[in-house]
Amino acid sequence: MIKINKERLVMQSVQGKIHSPTVNSPYRVDRNGQGRILPATGGITYNVKLGDSCMNLVGDHIEPGVSIKNENTQENNALMMLSCIGNEAVVISGNAKDARGIVTGMHSGIDHVLIYFNDEDMNKMAIGDTILVKAFGQGLKIEGFEDVTCMNLDPNLFEKIDLKIDQNGTLEVPIVAEIPAYLMGSGIGSSTAFMGDYDIMTGDKEANKTFGIDKLKFGDLVLLRDCDNTNGRQYLKGAVSIGVVIHSDCVLSGHGPGVTVIMSSKTTKIKGIFNDKANIGHYLGID
């Protein structure tokens, strides 16, 4: 049986408002040097959902569901750092007040927390509505796995993922794809992986097919080979990280589907087991 320190973890409230899409220049310059006008981050995205394909959308860095942000920078840092995938979110203002949702990811750069809500509740929401997140999970540890750093993951969701320990004492994690370190792009070198995400680069179509990137869905669990996220994001031979796909493919060079890391090891204490149902929507019963 896999044991965690769930009973010692602290739950705190953080909150933000539904953040409007923003535009500086109308053009996003794609990998071919062409200016594209596309929907991108923010707001309420009605027709892109957890479990949908994150590829081939007519958009850039699309965030499924509801995107929130706090106008105070320090408070938003806390929202980004303390929120964990699987946390409960509660609408506390507006026509959808008291609606419940689930955090599905944290998006660096734009610094949004992304939240799943059902269609009925989203249709009552408006930009500026306030949403509270019951932040719970940072500091999660697995007993007997000191080499594995957990982050950004609600312990209740951790317990729903079909994790196993093999005969060699390696943690087996269900995944839909394994991504080599050389395909990890925007966000590499960040000082911490305990908030936000970094991108799988998708400029090489053959690599997209070879590694199953072209089939990725929002919420999929992926293994990042030779990627160390224990203290910032870096290449390290033999390191293994597990992450969740949180935003869509992108048209920009060095970008692609965003991955929020949920565990990492500098050693080979984590092993991926391919499973086409390895998606947080499946484990949360909302796929």
Residue reference for tokens 């982050």: 151
Domain boundaries, the chain: 6-135, 148-284
pLDDT of res. 162: 95
The predicted-structure confidence for 191-201, as pLDDT tens digits, reads as follows: 999 999 999 99
State pLDDT tens for residues 21-56.
999 999 999 999 999 999 999 999 999 999 999 999
3-state secondary structure at position 40: coil
Give CA separation, 187 vs 180, 225, 259, in Å.
Answer: 15, 16, 10
Single-letter amino acid, residue 77: N
CATH architecture, domain 148-284: 3-layer Sandwich (2.102)
Closest among 181, 174, 170, 176 to 157, alpha carbons compared: 174
**pLDDT tens per residue across span 72-128:** 999 999 999 999 999 999 999 999 999 999 999 999 999 999 999 999 999 999 999
| Cα Rg of the chain (Å, integer) | 18
* Residue 189 Cα distances to 194, 199, 235, angstroms: 13, 12, 9
pTM of the model: 0.97
Please state the rounded mean pLDDT for residues 188-216.
Answer: 98
Instruction: Measure the CA–CA gap between 227 and 268, rounded to whole angstroms.
Output: 11
6-135 folds as Thrombin, subunit H (2.40.10)
